[in-house]
Amino acid sequence: MSKYFKISIVLSLLLFFTGSVYAQIIAPPKWTIQFSEKELKVGDEVKIIFKAQIPKDWYIYSNDFDPDLGPMLTELELKESEGFTLIGGLKAINPKKKYDEIWEGEVTYFVGSGTFEQTIKITGETIRAEGFIGYQMCTDVTGQCIPFEEDFTLTSKASPGQVTEIQETKTRDEALFVEEEITPESEEVIQTEIIEERTYINLDEEGEQGGLIGFMVIAFLAGLAALLTPCVFPMIPMTVTFFTGRSKSRISGIRNAFLYGFSIIAIYTIAGTAVAAIQGPEFANWLSTHWIPNVFFFLIFIFFAFAFLGMFELTLPSGFVNKMDAKADKGGMTGIFFMAFTLVLVSFSCTGPIVGSILISSAGGALVKPILGMFAFSLAFAIPFTLFAVFPEWLNSLPKSGGWLNSVKVVLGFLELALAFKFLSVADQVYHWGLLDRDIYIAIWVVIFALLGFYLLGKIRTKHDDPLDYIGVPRLMLAIGTFVFVIYLIPGLWGAPLKALSGYLPPMATHDFNIFENRYAAVASENKLDDVPKYADFLHFPHGIQGYFDYDQALAAAKRTGKPLFIDFTGHGCVNCREMEARVWSDPLVLQRLKEDFVMVALYIDERYELPESEWYTSEYDGKVKSTIGKQNADFQITQFNNNAQPYYVILDHNEELLVRPKAYDTNIQNFVNFLEEAKAEFGRR
């Protein structure tokens, strides 16, 4: 759910940023490339250091994760070298790491600044290194990803015992990739020299006091958002069960509840900050993605679900119970603290990415800020659970509440059972076990919630239930809502997207039988293109869309068919391109229009396929030879549309003129439909 929380923030700010997306070329990082030593000797091993000053709110991917995962890795290519030999490959220095739900794997990246090192051995007195470092820069603010290449020429002289001056050739034309309008903030970032090797995003640029207050507000809101995650919600029945009948008086119940809340805050604040200082936010990532904690949590929740359903009573060993009873008069803090610790540990499986964004401040040496951030986060997180801890004592004071309380526990047991599979699903997706595909997962939920509905109607009873003479209105409404939910789930068995549950369900790619994809394929087979698309053996459209991957071929097809040309500037490593395809293009209103009203062409800007030399050309923009599909597509986007970010959608008429203003990342389906309709209407008027 952390991804959707972030996306909701991006969408709320999108209108503000959209106006500036179209009329500027995004400035790349400023690179400093030099040798690690000033005195070079023949026979020495030294390093070429590549340091990038990354613009605010952007990040670049590193090169030490699975190259087949999706994003574009940073790589070094030498065109000419003299006086040295390479030792090993390009090494990233202390990149950050996270689990990316879009790519379903761990990625490493740099924010603020990034450093790479290439070890070499000096073999001659004249040293020359000429080449480029290729990388991808992305931002979560506007959903853009841009591939760049940083050309460089580095020369020096080496002689035994002699200090020589290193000459560094600046690597890029100062006019290349310059924004048309540079704000004071971006200018400061671009012009600032490289500082320390490890730097982090400064969230306090507005001033320490104001920054801390805003930071705490964001952390508090993040805590509220974390309550909606599928790992946290199942802890509600555990809390209710644990505190039901535990206290001997109303006062002691309230006291225990507040001790529970304070324990949650203390554990999150102290342990979380300590983990960040020692190991960084990677521990939260490990906890949320590794199979060991996820399978363990799955088994724990199954165990509790069976207990709530009445299979057995939760009892502790008698010796431990006696010790706990002896401490009861002192408040029984051990058991309460253990319950709070369990909540924090289990919740990390979903809140890890949210918490990690707060804890990352401490990795740069900050201390007060992560403590305050974790306090604000855990405060929002603890308040509802404190109320749930107080609530069972109030329930016990109600007359004849025993049977109703058991019904509540059984209902929560069904929910616990259903939500437990989320943990197994995470491990299954990360490690590709193939045990819990999307259709199997949905089938399990259909059965569980159908049984819950029958239980609410009194058709199923557990051994601790009182006889049900009649069904009250609240219980009937719950039953109706449950069966409505079951009916909503059923189409998902055949591939319906079920977008409201996308955070809980395995990805659509794991669905074995997808009638919707089959329908897409059927439509595609009926609408064959009148020309075989170039590069279709390794480039593809989603959802059965038929289209081209070469601009000239697509333009010719548009003229033959009398349709406008839809250009999709995309990339293999573009996360938000995949988001748009999954959330917007899949909608029937959009998909039908894309298939029927336009000639589609996807121009991949990071495709490394090298074209025949006869198709190479030198760009008028930067004077460089464009030899690959990706380089030519990127050059086309820059020179023709003054933009170099993806996703980027352009619709042209047969004279290659814009029909409407191009569109960037926007997951509002109606906005995209309006974009297509306006283009089609304008095309009809020309």
**Would the pTM of this model clear 0.85, i.e. be above it?**
no
Residue 447 pLDDT greater than 90, yes or no: yes
Q: What CATH number is given to the structural domain containing 628?
A: 3.40.30.10
Mean per-residue pLDDT over the chain, rounded: 74
Indicate whether 157 and 212 sit together in one domain. no
Residue 206 pLDDT greater than 70, yes or no: no
> What separation in angstroms does the CA of 613 have from each of 77, 132, 530, 533, 539?
19, 20, 28, 21, 21
* Across 203-221, average pLDDT: 57
User: CB neighbours of 664 closer than 8 A, spacing ≥ 6?
Assistant: 18, 21, 22, 142, 143, 144, 645, 647, 648, 649
d(CA 53, CA 51): 7
Residue-level pLDDT at 601: 96
| Residue 469 counted as domain residue | no
Residue-level pLDDT at 522: 45
* Across 525-531, average pLDDT: 66
Q: 372, 404, 436: which is the final residue of a domain?
A: 436
**Among 51, 49, 141, 59, residue whose Cα is nearest residue 107:** 59
Residue 618 pLDDT greater than 70, yes or no: yes
**Among 339, 347, 410, residue whose Cα is nearest residue 378:** 347
| Residue 414 counted as domain residue | yes
- Percent of the chain at pLDDT > 90 equals 21
Indicate whether 368 and 422 sit together in one domain. yes
Range from 34-43, 176-185, 354-363, 595-604 that averages highest in pLDDT: 595-604
Residue 609 pLDDT greater than 50, yes or no: yes
Residue 594 pLDDT greater than 90, yes or no: yes
Range from 556-570, 618-632, 641-655 that averages highest in pLDDT: 556-570
Q: Predicted confidence band at 209 (pLDDT cuts at 50, 70, 90)? A: very low
241 backbone dihedrals φ, ψ, rounded to 5°: -65, -40
Residue-level pLDDT at 78: 86
Residue-level pLDDT at 212: 65
Residue 359 pLDDT greater than 80, yes or no: no
Indicate whether 575 and 630 sit together in one domain. yes
Residue-level pLDDT at 115: 92
**Among 410, 396, 400, residue whose Cα is nearest residue 456:** 410
Residue-level pLDDT at 185: 42
| Domains identified in the chain, total number | 3
Residue-level pLDDT at 432: 62
Q: Predicted confidence band at 225 (pLDDT cuts at 50, 70, 90)? A: low
User: CB neighbours of 553 closer than 8 A, spacing ≥ 6?
Assistant: 531, 533, 534, 601
| Residue 577 counted as domain residue | yes
| Residue 455 counted as domain residue | no
Indicate whether 185 and 216 sit together in one domain. no
Rounding to the nearest 10 degrees, give the CA dihedral for residues 500, 504, 506, 511. -40
Q: Predicted confidence band at 420 (pLDDT cuts at 50, 70, 90)? A: confident
Q: Which residues lie across from 138 on neighbouring strands?
A: 59, 145
Residue 640 pLDDT greater than 80, yes or no: yes
* Across 286-296, average pLDDT: 69
Residue 554 pLDDT greater than 90, yes or no: yes
Residue 245 pLDDT greater than 90, yes or no: no
Task: Decide if 9 contacts 129 (C-beta within 8 A).
Answer: no
**C-alpha 345 chain-centroid distance:** 21
Q: Predicted confidence band at 187 (pLDDT cuts at 50, 70, 90)? A: very low
* Across 323-341, average pLDDT: 59
667 backbone dihedrals φ, ψ, rounded to 5°: -90, 10
Residue-level pLDDT at 319: 52
Which residue did the predictor score with more confidence, 320 or 273? 273
d(CA 332, CA 260): 11
pLDDT tens, residue by residue, 483-504: 999 999 999 898 887 766 755 6
DSSP state of 587: S
**Secondary-structure percent of the chain, ordered helix, strand, coil, rounded to 5:** 50, 15, 35
| Lookup: tokens for 15 | 């209108």
341-355, 465-479, 515-529: range with lowest mean pLDDT? 515-529
* Across 237-241, average pLDDT: 62
Indicate whether 159 and 237 sit together in one domain. no
> What separation in angstroms does the CA of 565 have from each of 243, 602, 680, 685?
64, 11, 10, 15
Residues spanned by the domain of 275: 208-436
166-180, 453-467, 507-521: range with lowest mean pLDDT? 166-180
> What separation in angstroms does the CA of 394 have from each of 318, 399, 466, 474?
28, 11, 21, 19
Residue 570 pLDDT greater than 60, yes or no: yes
User: CB neighbours of 387 closer than 8 A, spacing ≥ 6?
Assistant: 257
Range from 3-12, 23-32, 343-352, 531-540 that averages highest in pLDDT: 531-540
Residue 324 pLDDT greater than 90, yes or no: no
Q: What CATH number is given to the structural domain containing 158?
A: 2.60.40.1250
* Across 437-461, average pLDDT: 92
| Lookup: tokens for 645 | 């970010």
Residue 176 pLDDT greater than 50, yes or no: no
Residue-level pLDDT at 408: 73
Residue-level pLDDT at 652: 95
Q: Predicted confidence band at 367 (pLDDT cuts at 50, 70, 90)? A: low
Residue 395 pLDDT greater than 70, yes or no: no
d(CA 365, CA 503): 34
Q: Which residues lie across from 132 on neighbouring strands?
A: 77, 151
Indicate whether 126 and 214 sit together in one domain. no
Q: 384, 415, 436: which is the final residue of a domain?
A: 436
Q: 191, 220, 238: which is the final residue of a domain?
A: 191
| Residue 450 counted as domain residue | no
d(CA 109, CA 94): 9
Indicate whether 226 and 347 sit together in one domain. yes
Q: Predicted confidence band at 549 (pLDDT cuts at 50, 70, 90)? A: very high
Residue 161 pLDDT greater than 70, yes or no: no
Which residue did the predictor score with more confidence, 93 or 215? 93
Residue-level pLDDT at 14: 37
d(CA 496, CA 363): 43
134-148, 308-322, 651-665: range with lowest mean pLDDT? 308-322
Q: Predicted confidence band at 673 (pLDDT cuts at 50, 70, 90)? A: very high
Indicate whether 184 and 212 sit together in one domain. no
Which residue spans within 163-304 are E strands per DSSP?
Answer: 167-169
135-144, 569-578, 583-592, 597-606: range with lowest mean pLDDT? 569-578
Residue-level pLDDT at 19: 39
d(CA 495, CA 166): 62
Residue-level pLDDT at 679: 94
Half-sphere exposure (CA, 13 Å, Cβ side) for 637?
34
Which residue did the predictor score with more confidence, 511 or 640? 640
Measure CA of the first residue to CA of the last residue in the chain; give whole Å: 46
User: CB neighbours of 274 closer than 8 A, spacing ≥ 6?
Assistant: none
Residue-level pLDDT at 69: 80
Indicate whether 165 and 234 sit together in one domain. no
Residues, the chain: 686
Indicate whether 256 and 387 sit together in one domain. yes
Residue 396 pLDDT greater than 80, yes or no: no
Residue 20 pLDDT greater than 80, yes or no: no
Q: Predicted confidence band at 400 (pLDDT cuts at 50, 70, 90)? A: very low
Residue-level pLDDT at 600: 96
| Residue 641 counted as domain residue | yes
Q: Is 145 helix (H, G, I), strand (E, B) or coil?
A: strand
Indicate whether 115 and 230 sit together in one domain. no
| Residue 460 counted as domain residue | no
**Among 626, 604, 597, 624, residue whose Cα is nearest residue 613:** 626
Which residue did the predictor score with more confidence, 558 or 242? 558
pLDDT tens, residue by residue, 34-46: 888 888 888 888 9
Q: Which residues lie across from 50 on neighbouring strands?
A: 33, 116
Residue-level pLDDT at 560: 94
Query: What does the DSSP assignment read for 617-664?
Result: EE-TTT--EE-BHHHHHHHHHHHHHS---BSEEEEE-TTS-BSS--B-
Residue-level pLDDT at 454: 95
Q: Is 259 helix (H, G, I), strand (E, B) or coil?
A: helix
Residue-level pLDDT at 239: 66
66-70, 116-120, 451-455: range with lowest mean pLDDT? 66-70
Indicate whether 169 and 228 sit together in one domain. no
| Residue 351 counted as domain residue | yes
Residue-level pLDDT at 440: 92
- Percent of the chain at pLDDT > 70 equals 67
d(CA 213, CA 501): 34
d(CA 285, CA 356): 8
Q: Predicted confidence band at 368 (pLDDT cuts at 50, 70, 90)? A: low
Range from 30-34, 340-344, 502-506 that averages highest in pLDDT: 30-34
